[in-house]
Amino acid sequence: MKPHIEESQRFLRLADRDIYAFTVLKKEEDVHLSVVYFHAQQAVEKLLKAVLFSVQIEFRRTHDLTALMFLLQQKNIQIPVATAQLARLNPFAVTYRYDDMEIDAFRLTCEEATEWLNSLRIWAESELNEHGDESDTSDRKMNDST
């Protein structure tokens, strides 16, 4: 398996950890929303990066979901959640981790975040399967011609 495919699969597994944490923590009334949504943001970030790895798009170290989505859109890769929606998760990567600001202003619900995560997880796996198959096909063609 090619290294970029292995890395994309690794990021998919890491995203699954954050999706699980989000799913568990959102049910706990005593857990602050900044912690809950941090895991949603991290999961989205890792899902986007998994797809970026799978199509071999280089990216800088960033938590900016909008910037990651822009890189995918430049290559005509359509994301199932609008940029404006995911941008609402951006502050949870850093700002709300180190600040005590009120979160209600974002009017972000756990149901919305759950819907986005479900859509993005399905999309990312589909993209990885598609690009992993392309990689395997090109490997087979190269081996067949030798």
Tens digits of residue pLDDT in 1-58? 788 889 999 999 999 999 999 999 999 999 988 899 999 999 999 999 999 999 998 8
Distance CA 125, CA 50 (A): 9
pTM of the predicted structure, to 2 decimals: 0.86
Residue 106, pLDDT score: 60
CATH number of 3-141: 1.20.120.330
The single-letter code of the amino acid at 141 is K
Residue 4, pLDDT score: 87
Residue 138, pLDDT score: 42
Which of 41, 13, 9 is CA-nearest to residue 25?
41
Give the H or E element holding residue 131: helix 110-144
76: left (phi over 0), alpha (psi -120 to 50) or beta: left
Residue 94, pLDDT score: 79
CA 53 to chain centre: 12
Residues near 138 by beta carbon (within 8 Å), at least 6 away in sequence: none
Residue 107, pLDDT score: 72
Token pair of 84, please?
A: 């404006």
Number of Cβ within 10 Å of residue 73's Cβ equals: 12
